[in-house]
Amino acid sequence: MNSIQFFFDGKIHTVNFDNLPPTTTLLKYIRSLPGRQGVKEGCAEGDCGACTVVIAELNNNKLKYRAVNSCLVLLPSVHGKWVITVEDLGQPENPHFIQTAFVQNFASQCGFCTPGFEMALYALIKENPNPTDEQINEAVEGNICRCTGYRPIRDAAASLRDVKSRDIVSDLEPTAIQELSKIKNSEPLVLKHKDFTYLIPFTIQQAVDLRLKYPEATIINGSTDIALRITKNKENIHTIIDLDHIKEIQYIKHEQNTLEIGAGTRIQDIKDFVKDVFPEFYELLKVFGAKQIRNRATIAGNIATSSPIGDLIPPLFAMNATLELTGKNKRTIPIEKFITGYRKNDLKNDEIITKVIIPLNSDYKYKFYKVSKRTHLDITTVSLAAAVKIHDNIITDIRLVYGGMAEVVKHAQQAENFLINKQINEQNFLQAANIAANEFTPISDARADAQARTILARNLIIKLYNDLINQL
């Protein structure tokens, strides 16, 4: 069959890969179609939002709409979904009310960014027709405009609240649901083009079987990391196993003392879920990339990159998280044992990460800090994740885990040892801050020089002290 099917332009659209590499991005593919050049390519690395489109996924007969960066989505991954672009919203003679709002509020000048903003806002109003200012800001935090200025854009967005005008895209929902339901996925899809092979399993077992059959394959899930190797490094990744269609690994379970997260769960879903149950984690996830990135990026993808500046690894260390890995056999491993070096981990050839288990211990206070040059769409310069157990003003256990201070995420072990059984007071924390700062020999790079990192490491412990005191 060598093809995928998705809902597009009011009907099922089939793409055959006989003449098209399966590593083609959704952006490049859409722009190659007649009359579909509204979606723009700015940065090709997830940083500008000009390429934003909406993907709607069918789950239990309901559609979930998400704005995504089409430059980071590999085309086969939209199999079985609905792709919506700015042309679907409206045309000059019959504009959508979002497009009218942009005109009426003078929210567009050169217009390069406009389709991206409009699609980000379309996904928002499908999720919530009456969004708060905070939700509006979140929806467009991944979109950059270099000429209009953001106030008119925000005014246009605010004017969308509870608009009653007809949305012609929503009129297509029943057809989309009916047509998408007809796409039955049982056996893995095998897409071939010359020496490229792109594999889409639908179950964990199928993924493991494919891992055994294609040991050279690169795994992807949200592809927010791997797509850059294609778009920026111009790498040919010849064999890919795409886990994006495995529903078994897309869930969150909150039990009394644990949070269990399926490996393929998107960061945005985790963020929304933990808002009330784990506000400290929520605050950190708010500054992970931007909404379009979080709508694709998965927890396992973040862990498996095993980067010293990945945002989730320090908190998962501090919370003593464990991972379930599934291959021929199943095993669980503490995340601290899983990461073995700079961007290295203990994943075996037949394995994928299938779940992340986070113990939630109410005896501990958790604090997570990320320092970066800007709030959104920025990589960590230095981060600190702390778990502190306090009894009668005495620290009975403490974990201080730094990102960005060494080639791997690392505990400030001497500072931890120093603080155990000490009183919570300014003097002890100042001393611990100096100890922590001297434990590492960070590098200088484009984000900060070594001295700045050392100062940040020290100051984060002072911030931790202030936050603990305020909370106590």
Ligand X SMILES: Cc1cc2nc3c(=O)[nH]c(=O)nc-3n(C[C@H](O)[C@H](O)[C@H](O)COP(=O)(O)OP(=O)(O)OC[C@H]3O[C@@H](n4cnc5c(N)ncnc54)[C@H](O)[C@@H]3O)c2cc1C
User: What residues line the site for ligand X (CB under 6 A)?
Assistant: 45-47, 218-226, 228, 243, 263, 288-289, 293, 296-298, 300-302, 304-305, 310-311, 347, 352-353, 377
- State the Cα–Cα distance between residues 383 and 456, nearest whole angstrom: 9
Count of residues that interact with ligand FES, criterion CB under 6 A:
23
Among ligand FES, ligand X, none, residue 148 binds (CB under 5-8 Å by kind):
ligand FES
* Amino acid identity for residue 253 in this structure: K
118 near ligand FES, judged by CB under 6 A: no
Q: Which residues pair with 192 in a beta bridge?
A: 197
> Edge-to-edge, what's the strand order for the sheet holding 218-220?
189-193, 196-200, 239-242, 218-220
Q: Of the candidates 21, 22, 38, 49, which one interacts with ligand FES according to CB under 6 A?
A: 49
Q: Which is nearer to ligand FES, 48 or 299 (CB)?
A: 48
Q: Is 305 in the site for ligand FES (CB under 6 A)?
A: no
Among ligand X, ligand FES, none, residue 17 binds (CB under 5-8 Å by kind)? none
Report in angstroms how near the CB of residue 114 gets to ligand FES at its nearest: 6
| Site for ligand FES, residues 397 to 426, rule: CB under 6 A | none
Q: Which does 22 bind (CB under 5 to 8 A by kind): ligand FES, ligand X, none?
A: none
Rounded Cα distance, 174 and 280, in Å: 39
Find which of ligand FES, ligand X, none residue 243 binds, CB within 5 to 8 Å per kind. ligand X
Q: In which residue are the tokens 């003593």 written? A: 320
Q: Does 129 bind ligand FES (CB under 6 A)?
A: no
Q: How many CB atoms lie within 10 A of CB 261?
A: 25
Exposure letters 61-99 (e unless 16+ CB within 10 A, then b): eebbbbbbbbbbbbbbbbbbbbbbbbbbbbeeeeebbbb
Nearest to 64 by CA among 208, 155, 176: 176
Separation CA 120–CA 52 (nearest Å): 7
Q: Which does 390 bind (CB under 5 to 8 A by kind): ligand FES, ligand X, none?
A: none
What are the distances in angstroms from CA 313 to CA 146, 212, 305, 381?
Answer: 34, 27, 10, 14
When asked if residue 69 is in the footprint of ligand FES (CB under 6 A), the reply is yes
Residue 322, contacted partner among ligand FES, ligand X, none, CB below 5-8 A by kind: none
Q: Which residues bind ligand FES (CB under 6 A)?
A: 41-44, 46-51, 69, 71, 108-114, 145-148
